Every structure is written in structure tokens, then in C-alpha cells.
Structure 1
Amino acid sequence: MSNYGLDLVYRPDLPALIARWQREVTPYELQTGYQAVLAAADAAGCSRWLLDLRRREDVTEPAVNTWFGTTFAPELRERYGAPVRLAFLVSPLRAQQAVTAVVSAADADCRIATFTDEAAAHFWLAQAAE
């Protein structure tokens, strides 16, 4: 699936849902993208997501971060029978940006970690499967 600059693929072999933003997106497109991720995760019954933000310049859109922490993340609580684990994949340049602002707001509803290495992100997601 590719909409709003987002490519989505479910990988049952991992198992993980991989969402890759391919371009800069507006806040509306980003929120719509997260809803598409949720729909795909629901269809697959998948509680482990890799969210690849490396091609986005701004990973700290304040309005979206607030929406994510106060509206979206609470929807994830107890949704799949296991806590949702979100691996945010960011560029090293963006690693210092405040993705952590989302983490504190959403941590009660899901487990979040930020990575600059995709293999490390997949390893962390796989730990949840055990």
C-alpha cells in the first residue's frame, strides 16, 4: 500500500508491520498515515511495528506529537493481547530530535524505542515475539 507518502508491508516472517514514509508529509497526511498503519496492523493482528522516518525532515511536528500521545497511543492499549511495540527508525542526524517527547506521553499505552540502525530495530521487535 502506498498513500500519503507511506509504504506499508506486513512481514509475517519477522513478524512485524513495516511503515516507511517516502517523502515529507503534511500533519494531516501523517495522521492519516498512522491510521493506515493501525488498520493494517488490525488486519494482520500485529503488535510490532517498524516506523521508518528516515526520509522525513521533521520528525517532531508538535501538533502530531500531541495527537499521537493523547489520542492515537491510548487506542493501542490492550488492542492485540500484547503491548504494541513501536520501533522508530530515524536518521542519525534526526536521532537527537524530540521523538522522546512522544515516548513519555505514549509509554503507558505502548513500548517505544528509537533506532538509527534497522537491524537493531528488528532485533528489538523480535524480542517482543518471545
Structure 2
Amino acid sequence: MPDFGLEITPRPDLPALVARWQREITVPELKAGYFAILDAADAMDCARWLLDLRRRDELTTPELAAWLKADFFPKLPRRYAEPVRIAFLVSPLRAREEQSDSSVAAISHNSQSNQGFFTALFTDEAAAHRWLAG
């Protein structure tokens, strides 16, 4: 089974699904990885995800941001008993860098409750887990 440079760990104790990219990846691997996360979340019926992006570069382009908004995120509303909550974990340096409209930070910042899911950006894993539990 392909791993897409991704390690997916169910954490029923939190409860959350933790997905950590382990290496630099390509855009097709990123897309496949997001669907692997969705499959794992479906198997757990888990609406809380921590996506650890610290080991890979920013891949988000305007095209990829459009794919997320048009193809991936629309699959999330009403999928589980509660809205999906996605915590993006990034390095402090990456969080301080100038962010474009296509970056994870911009996608997270623009998350609104009427979309049926929530996203947030974190540099501290403990803070991300506290937000996911909220």
C-alpha cells in the first residue's frame, strides 16, 4: 500500500487522527495523502484531525488551494456526527513567513462555521490537541 510520505496514526484516546508527513512530497502524493486521511477518518468515524506539516515544504499553490476548496473540503460537511476539525501543525519559522492566499495559513484563517468544518494553524502540538478537543 502506498504511504504518500505519510504516517497516519489513529489516537482514540484523544480522540483524534494524527497524520504526519515524513518527507518532501509531490502534489499528486499530497492529494492522495488527503484521501488516505479521509479513508482512515471514515474507518474511525473521527472528525478531529491533526495534520503535521513540519517535515515538508509548503506545497500549496493557487491550483492546489483551488483543489482543496472545490474538491476536498466539500466532502467534509455532515460526514460525521460533528463538524470536522483540522489542526495544521507547522514550524514557528513557517508560521512567521509571509503567507499567500494559497497557503495553509490563509486557508485556515478563512475557515468559517458555515462551511461545515473548521481549520486552524498551530506551532505547538499541545495547543493543537486542546483546540481539537474543544
- Do these two structures clear the TM 0.5 threshold for a shared fold by scoring above it? yes
Residue 101 of structure 1 pairs with residue 114 of structure 2: no
Provide the aligned length of Structure 1 versus Structure 2.
127
Q: What is the CA-CA distance between 1:105 and the residue it aligns to?
A: 6.2
Task: Give the whole-Å Cα distance in 2 for the aligned partners of 1:29 and 1:59.
Answer: 11
Which secondary structure state, in structure 2, belongs to the residue aligned with residue 23 of structure 1?
coil
Work out the percentage of aligned pairs sharing the same amino acid. 57
Which residue number corresponds to residue 117 of structure 1? Answer: 124
CA displacement 1:26-63 (0-9 Å, x = unmatched): 10000000000000000000000000000111142332
Which secondary structure state, in structure 2, belongs to the residue aligned with residue 10 of structure 1?
strand
CA displacement 1:41-90 (0-9 Å, x = unmatched): 00000000000000111142332221111110010010002100000000
Q: Which runs of 5+ in 2 are unaligned?
A: none
Residue range with higher mean Cα deviation, 61-70 or 111-120: 61-70
Task: Give the whole-Å Cα distance in 1 for the aligned partners of 2:5 and 2:73.
Answer: 21
CA displacement 1:88-122 (0-9 Å, x = unmatched): 00011111433233236654131000000000000
CA-atom RMSD in angstroms: 1.7
Residue range with higher mean Cα deviation, 110-119 or 98-107: 98-107
| 1:48–1:87 Cα change, 3 Å | same
Task: Please list, as runs of the form range in 1=range in 2, the aligned pairs for 1:1-130 lying within 5 A after superposition.
Answer: 3-95=3-95, 96=97, 97=99, 98-103=103-108, 107=112, 108-127=115-134
Which secondary structure state, in structure 1, belongs to the residue aligned with residue 14 of structure 2?
coil
Q: Which stretches of structure 1, 4 residues or longer, exceed 6 Å deviation after superposition?
A: none
Residue range with higher mean Cα deviation, 7-16 or 105-114: 105-114
TM-score, normalising length from structure 2? 0.87
